[in-house]
Amino acid sequence: MIIAKTIEEVRAQVRAWKQEGLTVGLVPTMGYLHEGHASLVDKAVSQCDRVVASDFVNPTQFGPNEDLEAYPRDFDRDCALLEEHGCHMVFYPEVSEMYAPDAATYVEILSDMPKQLCGQTRPIHFRGVCTVVSKLFNIVTPDKAFFGQKDAQQLAIIRRMVRDLSYGIEIVGCPIVREPDGLAKSSRNTYLNPQERQAALVLSQAVRLGQTMVEEGETDARRVVEAMTAHIQAEPLARIDYVSAVDGVTMLPVETIQGSVLVAMAVYIGKTRLIDNFIVEKGE
């Protein structure tokens, strides 16, 4: 596996691959990889001739009081996982390689999409995500890019950005990967102590509760959200950021569960902010 630290290294290698007529897939990550990331690489390997993973903790998507410095990092471990799953190149740039000291250009969606859900309490987050993903698309020029469904709002926003800016890249969403007890895989799970790790199961339990209500015929979004909220609030270590039902494309709130609906949550367990969700595709 090639380890590239500069933009020019990546561009030169991708050019060589494309001259051979090979397709290229991109898996953008912030490192500290787990089985969820591995599933994205597996999907990319199955659909593309060559796969590039980025391993970059992007500073522009962290707010002033968020966990940029504390965010877990282990590049050697990341490389072992990527190589094991057939990744061909990892892009591991310094911040100075990605952002000039006087960088002043951002990519931002100006609709209400980024203001919902996570955007309510993380106002600059999706501007940072769109900017770094846009840069990665320009650097790697992939045919396809692979993102996890756990970050469902991010996935919807990237799809909109790709459409609006005519990138011509196919965005492939991949299912949430969970621990055996249901907790969604996340790099931030490492922050949890044993008591918090047990408490964190309220997220996946609330997901199952909501899914069951919908499967049994409930179409009132407020009732589903209220039941999930009550379940989470019963856990003393849990503090809810949001539990919401929104349109799966626009991210705007819905009252009725019909069409494509995303039911998503962000919950603090102690000081650790975790997210989870499920998607409903229901006929009109």
**How far, in Å, CA of 26 to CA of 10, rounded?**
12
Which residues does 73 contact at the CB level (< 8 Å), separation at least 6?
31, 32, 57
| Residue 54, H or E segment | strand 50-55
Q: What angle do CA 270, 154, 138 make, to 5 degrees?
A: 130
| Residue 97, token pair as written in the block | 């390689």
The radius of gyration computed from the CA coordinates of the chain, to the nearest angstrom, equals: 19
Q: How many angstroms separate the most distant Cα atoms in the chain?
A: 58
Q: Is 37 a catalytic residue?
A: yes
Which residues does 65 contact at the CB level (< 8 Å), separation at least 6?
none
Are 264 and 238 in contact, with CB atoms under 8 Å apart? Answer: no
Which residues does 100 contact at the CB level (< 8 Å), separation at least 6?
none
Active site residues: 37
